[in-house]
Amino acid sequence: MTKQEIHQIVSRRSRPAKAPLGRDIIVTTALDLLSRDGLSGLSLRKAAAALDTGPASLYVYFANLGELHTLMLDRALSAVALPAAREGGWRERLTFVLASYLHVLYNGHGLAQLALSTIPTGPNALRLLETLLELLLEGGIDQAVAAWAVDLLVLHVTSVAAEQSVRRDQGYSFGPVIGAINAVSEADYPRIHGLREELLSGGLARFGWGVDVLINGILHAPTLPIATEDIAKPFVKPTE
């Protein structure tokens, strides 16, 4: 045995431990990173670096990155404005809350994209959900219908916010989609070609239009969701 095989235990520390971090500071820092650099500029390691610590330190507060995302989204949702009770009709107030939700997502740069892949379960998300349910029920919509309808509404708003903020962040009139639609062959796809402008138009205005369409549809929905499970059966697996 040589001396090199006797392992000296030496402290690997180069500085003393700091004061405990806490969830709030981490979430705030991560949201700052997100709104400054977008979704691609956000990582656990970067958040840790911004807090002057190593990535391992954050695992005291979160089980994983997904949990941090969930908390970030819920924190951001605290900015959603709920309507003053009884001011205007239920439909007006419903549109108001959803518009506020739209803008919180649209203004927090990478936030809308994050919302598409993260299902929030924190108090602010629940508060929003509760408010939406309340307004739909006030509108006389059947309970079971209302339960499914909120999903449709929230999804629509989230995806409009995501699509538009992506478009804003990478320059208005470029991107592969716009190119592909504009380049479409008139012979092969006459309707896409003819409607290429309408397919790409709208921007944030799609929000209001979609909400109208959805509410109209919800008002005309069958009271009890029909059992349509069987529609799903007679199809084969893809490319085999």
Partner DNA sequence: ACCTGAACACCGTTCAAGT
Token couple for 8: 């000296």
Q: CB under 5 to 8 A by kind: which of a copy of itself, DNA, none does 137 bind?
A: a copy of itself
SS3 call for 156: helix
Give the Cα separation of 205 and 8 in Å (integer).
67
Residue 44 C-beta: closest distance to DNA, Å? 4
Per CB under 7 A, 57 contacts DNA = yes
Which residues, 66 to 125, sit near DNA by CB under 7 A?
66
Query: Per CB under 7 A, which region of 8-16, 105-113, 128-136, 215-223 contacts DNA?
Result: 8-16
CA distances (Å), 32 to each of 43, 57, 79, in order? 12, 19, 15
Query: Which residue, 40 or 228, has its beta carbon nearer to DNA?
Result: 40
Give the Cα separation of 191 and 189 in Å (integer).
6
Query: Which residue, 43 or 107, has its beta carbon nearer to DNA?
Result: 43
Which residues, 101 to 160, sit near a copy of itself by CB under 8 A?
102-104, 107-108, 111, 116-117, 119, 121, 126-127, 129-130, 133-134, 137, 143-144, 146-152, 155-156, 159
- Strand stretches in the chain, DSSP E: none
In angstroms, how far is CA 207 from the centroid of its own chain?
15
CB atoms within 10 A of CB 211: 20
User: Of the candidates 3, 5, 6, 9, which one interacts with DNA according to CB under 7 A?
Assistant: 9
Site for DNA, rule CB under 7 A: 9-21, 43-46, 53-57, 59-61, 64-66
